[in-house]
Structure 1
Amino acid sequence: MKFNELHLEKAVLQGLDSMNFQDTTPVQELTIPVILQGKDIIACAQTGTGKTAAYVLPVINEISKGKLPRNEINAVIMAPTRELAQQIDQQIEGFTYFVPVSAVAVYGGTDGIGWVQQRRGMQMGADIVIATPGRLLAHIRMGTVDLSSVSFFILDEADRMLDMGFYKDIMKIYRLLPPTCQSIMFSATMPPKIRELAQKILKNPEQIQLAIARPPETIIQTAYICHDFQKIKILQSLFSKSAPKRVIIFSSSKIKVKELSIVLTRMRFNVAAMHSDLEQSQREEVMKEFKNGHIDILVATDIVARGIDIDDIRVVINFDLPHDAEDYVHRIGRTARGTSGEGLAITLVAENEQAGFQEIEQFLGKTIYKIPLPEEVGEGPEYNPTMFPPKRKRGRPKKEGSQQKSVPSSPPRKRGRPRKQI
């Protein structure tokens, strides 16, 4: 379907045309008409499907008509991380080039100047507020935010927000909204807790569920079956044969991320770590340096697995197994996104991770090629998931900083006319 078939305002279509957006993605085709009808909606769609535009465009479209209160907050978009909030803000800036709709991103980790700028933007009535739950609540407690005129309440990556422990924050914010507010939820997965949340905040919602996409065939998926202590040696062997460039290494614990980045730095690799303990300015600098090619290896928690667009990633390495098969898809989906359209995914599978890895293979409906261990690494265990059950029940941690086994310490705005000043 073409965007010009969706009954969007002319100025909104102008912005899409200037960005060379002509055809809708499946999630956009299914959700935009429903949102334009004013219905609550819950949509299950993973990152990379165009879901941000799916909810942003109809919201911008309705605000641009000029029928909603002026100089008031008309839409609140909740995001689990600062990076995703920033990315949504950037997309809104592009979509609103030809319409007088303003936005402000509200997130933690900034200095006093950042706080004042966020407060000023909301007090002056930014049309759209993109916020992380904790930061928006902090402004609410200070009495600087009025949500009484909000017409749209959107939860992006709702499952991730619940995983991070934001349920109570979300409900506190929701209770401050007018009863006429249209609520929209997007989630990559649909576990019972998401359905429970939907029952509490959505009114007779339309449900749209797109099948979880399998990784594209352009991603070569491989694995090393190894002992845990061999993982560092495998990385060392890999990087000695081919100098690392544009590599992301994922770990499920920020403790592992910190320790692994230290180990790789001692090996004289150009490495940076990305996790929630970094100040916002530090995280922005790391992402900037990595995108610009000044950093070769980014060691990260799942904070960058969803919702962050980084082109031309050559290799994604799972230093340890993600918490479920869908997270595996999100992680390796960071590669094969640039002009080459090709990428390599490598997963290091220890004995206690074999059962979980088998679950991933079953989810994908394919057997992932197991690469023989390099001779210098030594002999690894047999791949037999029934022989090596997991040591603990698999599941998502409530917070990114959950304690896990450590890594071995050594190798053994808007623009428009006119724009509100925020």
Structure 2
Amino acid sequence: MGFTKATPIQELTIPVIMNGDDLIACAQTGTGKTASYLLPVLNYIANNNVHQTTALVLAPTRELAQQIDQQVEGLAYFTGISSQAVFGGGDGIAYEQQRRGIQNSVNIIIATPGRLIAHLTSGVLKLNHITHLVLDEADRMLDMGFSDDIMRIISYLPKKRQTLLFSATMPGRIRNLAKAILHEPQQISVAISKPAEGIDQQVYRLHDQQKTPLIKMILKDGGFQSSIVFASRKEIVRALYKELKHAHVNTAAFHSDLQQSEREEILLKFKNKQLPVIIGTDALSRGIDVEGIDLVVNYDVPGDAEDYVHRIGRTARAATTGTAITFVNDRDLKRLKSIEQLIDRQIPQKELPEELKSIEPIAQERPAGGPRKDKRRRPNRYKGNKPKPAAN
């Protein structure tokens, strides 16, 4: 598969996992963490001649579950080890394929929590032989409200097992989860919340009406081969998609309203370099693992500084280089400051092209949390005695 040297997270975690210890590992996306837990798990299954489901990997999104399943397929190609991705959002045929895989006792199940619980409660799936439990992107799963589902799934597992928790961030709720489900875990942290050194980070100060003209210029004239554009809401994703298509930019919109087959087709074309630009929300920030992405654009500044790290982490993966451009209006200055504090550096500001400087804002933009200029006051209610009605 082209791997010749272990990444730092792999060097640190593989010996711990091989030793049988529980583990809390903190590493950002793009550092090779998937192989860091898959390789030792595959090694255990191969050396112990296992013929039943002994490993369970929980992931927050169906895209990530599918990618992990593809990694298993590649890494275990010559071992005969089997896996099954289990996730919702598909049709009855997909559910039936998942059910058959489960009944055939595949070695590894990679699942999103909700769909896994559906198979557990139906009685089709038994997890009483699990020796390895992996929680991948645990912070994201908690952000998505899967805490109760995770604890419910764990109630089906043997108490004696090896549990591995991987997370890009380590907030208090992750540590509380770790205390509840891990036994005397080893702890490893690598480059917490720091973007890869190979990312050229840039900021443009502008107003909203300058965003779309600027991104058209960047995508058409910047010489980038593979780009992701992040917007804050799917409504913005749709609107921007129409604008770019009208400007003859070959792009696709990736959002939650698409059918599973449509999402898979978009990702496949993007991976195969048949589609140079994807526009999406933060669902893409941890749900896509594609080599060779050379540009990430934050059309909107993310609300959380950690999400900025995950977004721009789509580029400059595996020691490559890339560019990350963020559009910042007046409302987003506080968010930009939070990002710069998190990554411990000031992001260089680029000069807006001359032809865009003359574009005027449609209306005065409101500072985050501030009152609207045209906010109307409610009429005063009567206080005290009401006036007497006029006599007939």
* Fold-level similarity (TM above 0.5): yes
Give 1:213 deviation, angstroms: 6.2
Q: How does 1:294-333 map to 2 (within 5 A)?
A: 294-306=274-286, 308-333=288-313
Q: 3-state SS of the aligned residue for 2:97?
A: helix
Q: Is 1:164–2:106 an aligned residue pair?
A: no
Q: AA paired with 2:348? A: Y
Choose which of 370, 375, 378 in structure 1 pairs with 2:357: 378
1:52 is matched with 34
1:36 is matched with 18
CA contact (8 A) 2:81 2:107 kept: yes
Q: 3-state SS of the aligned residue for 2:269?
A: helix
Q: How does 1:82-121 map to 2 (within 5 A)?
A: 82-121=62-101
Query: Residue deviations 1:289-341, cap 9 Å, x none?
Result: 222333232101122222532222232110111233332222222223489x3
Moved more, 51-60 or 209-218: 209-218
Q: Is 1:368–2:347 an aligned residue pair?
A: yes
Moved more, 75-84 or 355-364: 355-364
Q: 1:375 to 1:240 in 2, by over 3 A?
A: farther
1:21 is matched with 3
Q: 1:336 to 1:40 in 2, by over 3 A?
A: closer
Q: 3-state SS of the aligned residue for 1:238?
A: helix
1:11 is matched with none
Q: 1:54 to 1:337 in 2, by over 3 A?
A: closer
CA contact (8 A) 2:231 2:298 kept: yes
Larger-Rg structure: 2
Task: Provide the aligned length of Structure 1 versus Structure 2.
Answer: 365
Q: 3-state SS of the aligned residue for 2:296?
A: strand
Q: 3-state SS of the aligned residue for 1:312?
A: coil
Give 1:144 deviation, angstroms: 0.9
Query: Residue deviations 1:39-93, cap 9 Å, x none?
Result: 211111111111111111111121122365x3x3111100111111111111111
CA contact (8 A) 2:209 2:359 kept: no
Choose which of 287, 293, 311 in structure 1 pairs with 2:267: 287
Query: Residue deviations 1:385-406, cap 9 Å, x none?
Result: xxx96439xxxxxxxxxxxxxx
CA contact (8 A) 1:47 1:307 kept: no
Q: 1:356 to 1:88 in 2, by over 3 A?
A: same
Choose which of 347, 352, 366 in structure 1 pairs with 2:326: 347
CA contact (8 A) 1:35 1:58 kept: yes
Q: How does 1:116-155 map to 2 (within 5 A)?
A: 116-155=96-135
Q: AA paired with 2:369? A: K
CA contact (8 A) 2:82 2:108 kept: yes
Q: 3-state SS of the aligned residue for 1:268?
A: coil
Q: 1:55 to 1:314 in 2, by over 3 A?
A: closer
Choose which of 215, 226, 237 in structure 1 pairs with 2:195: 215
Q: Percent identity?
A: 50
CA contact (8 A) 2:194 2:343 kept: yes
- Normalised TM-score (structure 1): 0.80
Q: Is 1:356–2:332 an aligned residue pair?
A: no
Q: 3-state SS of the aligned residue for 1:273?
A: strand
Q: 5+ unaligned residues in a row in structure 1: which ranges?
A: 1-18, 382-387, 393-422
Q: Is 1:231–2:211 an aligned residue pair?
A: yes
1:8 is matched with none
CA contact (8 A) 2:31 2:318 kept: no
Q: Pairwise CA RMSD of aligned residues?
A: 2.4
Q: 5+ unaligned residues in a row in structure 2: which ranges?
A: 361-365, 371-392
Partners of 2:336 and 2:226 lie apart in 1 by 25
2:381 is matched with none
2:230 is matched with 250
Moved more, 160-169 or 267-276: 267-276
Q: 3-state SS of the aligned residue for 1:90?
A: helix
Query: Residue deviations 1:100-147, cap 9 Å, x none?
Result: 321111112222222111111111111110111111111112221011
Partners of 1:323 and 1:201 lie apart in 2 by 30
Q: 3-state SS of the aligned residue for 1:154?
A: strand
1:391 is matched with 369
CA contact (8 A) 2:231 2:237 kept: yes
CA contact (8 A) 1:110 1:281 kept: yes
Query: Residue deviations 1:176-209, cap 9 Å, x none?
Result: 1111122111000001111111111112211111
2:153 is matched with 173
Q: 1:102 to 1:237 in 2, by over 3 A?
A: closer
CA contact (8 A) 1:215 1:333 kept: yes
Q: 1:244 to 1:65 in 2, by over 3 A?
A: closer
CA contact (8 A) 1:312 1:338 kept: no
Q: AA paired with 2:335? A: G
